[in-house]
Amino acid sequence: MDGQLVSVIFKAIGFQVLGGLGIFLLGMKYMSEGMQNVAGDKLRNLIGLVANNRIFACIIGTLVTCVVQSSSVVTVMVIGFVNAGFMTLMQSIGVIIGANIGTTITGWILALKIGKFGLPILGIFALVYLFSKKDRTKYTAMAIMGIGMVFFGLETMAAGFKTPEIKMFLHDVFMTMSTVNYFGVLKCALVGCVTTMIVQSSSATLGITIAIAQTGVISLETAIAIILGLNIGTTITALLASIGGSTNAKRAAFAHIFFNVIGTIWILPLFYPYVHFIEKLGSMFLGYSSTEVSGLADVFAKFPDGTPQTIAIAASLTATIALSHTCFNVVNTIVFLPFMKYLAKFVTWLFPSKEFEEVPHLKYLTTAMINTPALAIEQSADEINEMGIQVMKMMDKLEYVVDNEDYDSKEAASIFKKEEILDVIQKEITQFIGKIFSKNTSRSIAADCRTQLRIADELESISDYIEKILKLYIKKDKSKAVFTKQGAKELKELHGDISSFIVKIADAVKHNNSDFLLEANNLNKQLVTTIKSIRDSHLDRMEETNASTIMVSLIFSDILNSYRRIKDHTLNVAEAVAGEK
């Protein structure tokens, strides 16, 4: 009976630890999403500033990760950018290295001495989040609510770990992984690596490590060894994101793996001097003696849990663990920065370019970008710009068909192929933006989503009518019908005018130029007048012909009507950019 009772108690305590971990992870998610929505435009601007300067790219990676609060999210996001051709390999490596520094801010947030206020913060800002109407207030409250959940989850985990049953179990486990020798250090690093791979969050492993360390079960050395391992484990997310991606995406993912693995390997032989250095650095800047954080178990033996002595030492230990995480990644970055070019060359050699040209597609970005709506919507905008480019290319190829009766059949086939590609891209954009809608997004991002869906639909409709015109010309040729010289000339001139209209609209979409609508309306009126004039001329010519030319007349009218529909959809794009419904 006693054994059963102990089992029930042990399970209940285990659920407390799992519950605390769940709250911690959910808090990280809310904190990340809230900060993304508040700083969405700034995030877009930061990513846009990434240049080939390795130091600048590293700084951008650090800043973005500080906002997103997850190196995994940022590295996966970078894989998506590389896969879509939006970022070069060198740029991506710089951002990924910077992300490793930015993720260490989580430890410093946990080092704040406000753990006991986690639940009140959670409660107060949950109410603000639920009842606020303004986006900025709502998502700021969401971010702070997430911080409250992080602290409350950490406190809940720590409370579970401090119960005698769990504490004894953890003590027995870590006795087999003592860091008295290098083999023990490797085992602890392996625990950190595997744990991070399982939960796919270095922040979660860091939180668990701090919660266990605060019980006095593991020493500072053990905690630092686990931290070294989590830096390897966190690379699994980027590796998974690169599966099925482009060659450059795989290169970026493996650059991340090599950076973290090599960084961990070279510091392991220097582990004990490194720990001593962290203790000295902590005593210098954080204001405690090195013996304090190394002897937390002894403090617990002398003083009950919750006394000022144990609380103060536990806080110092948390700050020291955060310091070790930051120092490790900063030192690694300083060491690796001069060798970034060689790392890029190595992964390029490891994954040579394919013989065929790889065309980036939006479908590869679905999992990579969806957790960062503010940046995901920017990437889908680039894909829509690509749709505009493809539509213009279709018009150029159609012009060749219009101008040449003996056109190459390959030109016609390429138009049909591009229309199929645009159908796929529109479907992918719709699915992608649909998933963005499922996230916590601000009104401005939601508005951008609606605009993009409309533009993608209009551009795809334009491609449909281009294909229809091509089919009509093919039908004309098969039936051996011939347009009059005047009719053929009018259609060629109309094609040129509408092509020019599409080019201007595509430029307005690319630069989000809402002021272009007035000019677009004027161009539309001119095209309406031109189309009416061509139709009247055509009707006049019909009166002068006999029934044998009815087929020619019908094809001509259908072509003219298709150009009119292209003109209408092009104007709809301008209205969407201007925000008109």
One domain, residues 405 and 333: no
One domain, residues 343 and 387: no
One domain, residues 426 and 288: no
If pLDDT is split at 50, 70 and 90, which confidence band does 356 have?
very low
Distance CA 366, CA 55 (A): 29
pLDDT at position 567 is 92
Between residues 120 and 299, which one has the greater pLDDT? 120
One domain, residues 136 and 201: yes
Instruction: Quick: pLDDT tens for 173-224.
Output: 777 677 777 888 888 888 888 888 887 778 788 888 888 887 777 888 888 8
One domain, residues 303 and 194: yes
Both tokens of residue 236?
Answer: 């699994």
Most confident region among 2-11, 49-58, 271-280 by mean pLDDT: 271-280
Residue 8 has pLDDT above 60, yes or no: no
E strands in 38-194: none
Residue 357 has pLDDT above 60, yes or no: no
Residue 490 resides in a domain: yes
pLDDT average, residue stretch 550-576: 89
Distance CA 437, CA 449 (A): 8
If pLDDT is split at 50, 70 and 90, which confidence band does 529 have?
very high
Closest C-alpha to 26, from 131, 147, 115: 147
Residue 357 resides in a domain: no
Most confident region among 136-150, 243-257, 460-474, 544-558 by mean pLDDT: 460-474
One domain, residues 346 and 435: no
One domain, residues 491 and 417: yes
pLDDT at position 340 is 83
CATH number at residue 522: 1.20.58.220
pLDDT at position 463 is 92
Instruction: Quick: pLDDT tens for 120-144.
Output: 888 999 999 888 888 788 888 888 8
Query: Do the Cβ atoms of 22 and 153 come closer than 8 Å?
Result: yes
Residue 544 has pLDDT above 70, yes or no: no
One domain, residues 31 and 161: yes
Question: In 305-339, which ranges are continuous DSSP H helix?
Answer: 308-336
**pTM for the model:** 0.64
Sequential DSSP letters for 484-551: -HHHHHHHHHHHHHHHHHHHHHHHHHHTT-GGGHHHHHHHHHHHHHHHHHHHHHHHHHHHTS-GGGHH
The alpha carbon of 424 is separated from its chain's Cα centroid by a whole number of angstroms, namely 21
Residue 363 resides in a domain: no
pLDDT average, residue stretch 41-45: 62
One domain, residues 212 and 334: yes
Please provide the average confidence, as pLDDT, over all residues in the chain. Answer: 78
One domain, residues 509 and 544: yes
Distance CA 549, CA 530 (A): 23
Between residues 39 and 513, which one has the greater pLDDT? 513
One domain, residues 25 and 106: yes
Q: Give me the torsion for CA of 317, 323, 324, 327, rounded to 10°.
A: -170
Residue 356 resides in a domain: no
Residue 249 has pLDDT above 80, yes or no: no
pLDDT average, residue stretch 363-370: 52
Residue 147 resides in a domain: yes
Q: Sign of the C-alpha dihedral, residues 420, 422, 424, 430?
A: negative
Written in H, E and C, the secondary structure of 442-469 is: CHHHHHHHHHHHHHHHHHHHHHHHHHHH
pLDDT at position 408 is 67
Both tokens of residue 469?
Answer: 């015109």
Range in 61-65, 462-466, 545-549 with the lowest mean pLDDT = 545-549
Distance CA 127, CA 121 (A): 10
Element containing residue 67 per DSSP (H, E): helix 54-68
Residue 360 resides in a domain: no
Number of structural domains found in the chain: 2
Residue 203 resides in a domain: yes
pLDDT at position 568 is 93
Print the domain residue range for 28: 2-350
Range in 359-373, 482-496, 530-544 with the lowest mean pLDDT = 359-373
pLDDT average, residue stretch 305-322: 70
Distance CA 446, CA 449 (A): 5
Here the contacts of 163-172 (C-beta below 8 Å, separation 24 or greater) are 163/13, 163/16, 165/6, 165/9, 165/10, 165/13, 166/10, 166/13, 166/14, 166/17, 167/215, 167/217, 170/212, 170/215, 170/217, 170/218, 171/217
Between residues 255 and 14, which one has the greater pLDDT? 255
Residue 45 resides in a domain: yes
If pLDDT is split at 50, 70 and 90, which confidence band does 307 have?
low
One domain, residues 396 and 314: no
